[in-house]
Structure 1
Amino acid sequence: YANEGKSIARINGKVAFIDGAVPGDVVNIKVHKSKKDWMEASVETLVHPSEDRIESFCKHFGFCGGCKWQFLDYPSQLKYKQQSVIDSLERIGKVHPKEILPIIGSTNQKFYRNKLDYSAADRAWVSKEEFNSDTYKPVPALGFHVSGNFTTVLDLEECFLQPAPSNQIRLCVKNFAVKNGLSFYDNWNKKGFLRTLIVRNNRKGEFMVIMVAGEKKDEWMFPLLDELKNNFPQITSLQYIISTKVNDTIFDQEVITYRGENFITEEMEGLQFRISAKSFFQTNPEQAYNLYKVTRDFAQLSGDELVYDLYTGTGSIALFIAKKAREVIGIEQVEDAIIDARLNAQLNGINNTKFFAADMRRVLTPQFFSEHGKPDVIITDPPRGGMHPDVVREIVQCGCPRIIYVSCNPASQARDIQMLSSQYELMKIQPVDMFPHTHHIENVALLELRNQ
């Protein structure tokens, strides 16, 4: 498999990246793009299946943009994910870890997510055959975008990603909207009422629902919210947003609480994490716990250390390790996330953390190190693009004895580790599968300063 989750074949001297194939399949392909040394293709017909191929369990598989590895048995998924981490480190980073720990698989391979965003559309996606048939009649949709197409939405009957009553909430919203003539969003002309449904939950079974409307119509919004309130006692936080802007992000929008609190709370080792509509929290909480435990174990804390937590987000890792450290300093660019981090520290009575809202590239300087102290341990958990080269250089120059690099993208992690390898040795790695049935993989790497 390539990093993007496509199978690799070699045809007439070219490398072919094939969507929808499992290693070991014999397939006929359709070529979509062809260059001098490579091509992109998809499976047209399956001639002979690989022994790793299984039947998908979801009726929407193949059309929906999620869960693209459902046709691959779970042990094989883990095998290919682990190998993709090693391949990235060796091919891109030119490094090989001293120790490779076996990937931690997800106990739950279904209903493992605690957040889903459902998109609405005035016309549901249908196949070409359905569209061209005499019986075709456009119907609205509430579901996910079709694979590779962000203007069309597949109407979902059932989804296996989030626990009940997520499916029932989505169907309730759609049925109420259809029955009462509420308009669904027109993704081409950017108008319409029902736009996005955001559903979040915690492990206690409490749900937060956020309705996003493309126009202000209280006469539609309030009865819809009442319908949810009356049918789902699990909803402890019911909110709404009026968004007339072009893109779907909510971070610059006002969130209005209709019923209940404006947050739900997740618990981990006795710590309470308050999650609001705009908060980031790992979407697979069981595996997030494993990820945080690995990070803490790799840090080897005795209680005397000053720890820097870079790209701290809402401070979940910083707070999780705080009781094992002398002090933890968290840095994050998103100001709302830092507000959440400080609130969560206060909520848990943790007073040995400091959080700074700043651009990492500008704040992580020799002056910052001299003001706040040279770290004994640096934990870094950057976004998919990895760290800016200037940030990597500052880390190298500060001479911190131990670095724990948490990554959701093995390719960018490998690139950064190559830069760090001038002064640091890659001691061990621990892949963690946060997203079963996808090609995505998290990896935790421990680096130690050479010649300490």
Structure 2
Amino acid sequence: MSTLRKLSKVGDLIPLPYHITPENRFEILNQIITPLYGKSYDKQLGIKYTKNKKILQSFGKRLREINSPVICAGDGLVCPLERVKESPIVERYRNKDEFSIWPGIDGYNRTLGFFVGQPSVNKQVYCVEPYHIVVSRESHLSIAEKFQSYLKYITKYDSCENYGLGGHWRRFHIRSNCLGDHMVTAILHPQQLSQEQLNDEMNQLRQFFEDDCRIKSFYFQASRHTRLSDEKSPFINIFGDKTITESLFDKKFEISVDSFFQINTTAAEVLYKTIMSELNVNKKTTVLDICCGTGTLAILMASDVCRVVGIDSSQSAINDAKKNAAFNGIKNAVFISGTVERELPKLVDELYSDNIVVVANPTRAGLHPSVINILRELNFIRKIVYVSCKPEGYALRNFVHLCVPSNRHNSHLGSPFVPINAVPVDLFPQTNHCELIITFERF
């Protein structure tokens, strides 16, 4: 739960935009999580194409406002927009679900499911059971229902609605691989619980779940923090393996409890294949993978290039990247922990003579402007493939920044980049979300 909830005044909160009842709660939850459900998949793809077309038109409008030499087509597009690449699976595709624990519409305060409303925004927030969500795997819903029974009949602790007012249970995470192995994590706020009391709760969880053959790994976290990081509040392995393994193409990846992995595995293969096609690499190419995360893309393309250099600010992600590179016998990939703005300048002398292409797949916050400045200043970088899960947000500022014309006020930036192609990839069927890949080149 956001700390904003604790700090907000009641008068600052607004009513829910829904009239939710026990009878319509599942319908409302579906509208929130899967707003395109009920439309044909072709119709969904058409909606996402139109959305991305508007984003590129907005991009073109901003370029015209800064007198960019980029010429838009008659329909206002800054570059060709390919059709949306389809997800091979459109239902039950989520390999990870993050359930909350909160009062339900019936008043029961240990309901497991998804929020209707935002605790930091709305006066009344409900948790609605997830059992009618079509994008969650059936096995996830079954295990979630089992944990709901644990909350109802075994544990004595209630949900944590406000850090300062008590309560304990917060989240229940489930992730799984294509083989049907599951990793689950039960998360609570320890409040004033002693270590002995926490140990007793972990023992109860072990006794309740360890005979479930689907669960290969069970973790427990007692966290006082909003962000559930292992550094601040260690994840404790109650039983089972420490990781599960997933396959992408011919590579295998060990997934740890706090690893990032694309939520739609089969569509992730479509995404990565498209990125590699846009990069158009060969055995002489060095790929600079900024925001490389756990190194999935770097490892997938390593055998087709001279080498890969990955940079990410998360030390745990870099540790996973190194481990998975070794797991797959990859020897031409280097992974560096640190911010791109700090680490990239250190590599200039080493990379200057290489055939360099850059791939950037940042979070929704996009790249820091200083990173764009560095990419612009390094004239030996001729191509950038930018991947965004929210291109209408901060990423759009990055797109414009890459294309700002050079003049006497910003001559240090070097020549601007030009967008040459855009490809949407649908990783999130039934929702409004879509990944967008834009390829930029410098001539």
- Could you state the TM-score of these two structures normalised by the residue count of structure 1? 0.79
Check whether the contact 2:87–2:270 (CA below 8 A) recurs between aligned residues. no
Check whether the contact 1:308–1:378 (CA below 8 A) recurs between aligned residues. yes
Q: Which has the higher strand share?
A: 1
The structural deviation recorded for 1:410 is 1.4
Q: Report the counterpart of residue 49 of structure 2 in structure 1.
A: 82
Check whether the contact 2:109–2:159 (CA below 8 A) recurs between aligned residues. no
SS at match of 2:29: coil
The structural deviation recorded for 1:240 is 1.2
Q: Report the counterpart of residue 10 of structure 2 in structure 1.
A: none
Distance 1:147 1:105, change over 3 A: farther
Asked if 1:66 corresponds to 2:33, the answer is yes
Which one of 337, 342, 350 corresponds to residue 371 of structure 1?
350
Distance 1:291 1:380, change over 3 A: same
Q: Report the counterpart of residue 289 of structure 2 in structure 1.
A: 309
Which one of 57, 69, 92 corresponds to residue 111 of structure 1?
92
The structural deviation recorded for 1:59 is 6.6
Asked if 1:185 corresponds to 2:156, the answer is no
Q: Which amino acid aligns with 1:108?
A: I
Q: Report the counterpart of residue 116 of structure 2 in structure 1.
A: 146
Q: Report the counterpart of residue 380 of structure 1 in structure 2.
A: 360
Which one of 263, 274, 280 corresponds to residue 254 of structure 2?
274
Aligned length: 385
Check whether the contact 2:248–2:269 (CA below 8 A) recurs between aligned residues. yes
Distance 1:331 1:248, change over 3 A: closer
Point out the more displaced range, 285-294 or 383-392. 383-392
Q: Report the counterpart of residue 405 of structure 1 in structure 2.
A: 386
Q: Which amino acid aligns with 2:425?
A: V
- Tell me the alpha carbon deviations over residues 329-359 of structure 1, each in whole angstroms, 9 at most, x when there is no partner: 0010111100110111111110101111111
User: Equivalents in 2 of 1:208, 1:346: separation in Å?
Assistant: 23
Check whether the contact 2:217–2:237 (CA below 8 A) recurs between aligned residues. yes
Asked if 1:414 corresponds to 2:401, the answer is no
- Cα RMSD (Å): 2.5
The structural deviation recorded for 1:288 is 0.8
The structural deviation recorded for 1:384 is 0.9
Distance 1:69 1:333, change over 3 A: same
User: Equivalents in 2 of 1:335, 1:401: separation in Å?
Assistant: 29
| Higher RCO (C-alpha under 8 Å, 6+ residues apart) | 2
User: Equivalents in 2 of 1:439, 1:158: separation in Å?
Assistant: 18
Runs of at least 5 residues in structure 2 that lack an aligned partner in the other structure: 1-12, 64-71, 191-196, 406-415
The structural deviation recorded for 1:419 is 2.1
Distance 1:145 1:137, change over 3 A: closer
The structural deviation recorded for 1:226 is 2.3
Q: For 1:151-190, what aligned pairs fall within 5 Å after superposition?
A: 152-188=126-162, 189=164
Q: Which amino acid aligns with 2:432?
A: H
- Tell me the alpha carbon deviations over residues 223-279 of structure 1, each in whole angstroms, 9 at most, x when there is no partner: 22322221x211111121122x14252343211112221111111122111110110
User: Equivalents in 1 of 2:58, 2:80: separation in Å?
Assistant: 17
User: Equivalents in 2 of 1:143, 1:437: separation in Å?
Assistant: 18
User: Equivalents in 2 of 1:226, 1:370: separation in Å?
Assistant: 57
Distance 1:306 1:144, change over 3 A: same
Distance 1:68 1:182, change over 3 A: farther
User: Equivalents in 1 of 2:42, 2:431: separation in Å?
Assistant: 13
Percent identity, please.
24
Q: Report the counterpart of residue 428 of structure 2 in structure 1.
A: 435
Distance 1:371 1:163, change over 3 A: same
Q: For 1:250-399, what aligned pairs fall within 5 Å after superposition?
A: 250-251=229-230, 252-365=232-345, 367-373=346-352, 374=354, 376-399=356-379
The structural deviation recorded for 1:299 is 1.1
The structural deviation recorded for 1:193 is 3.9
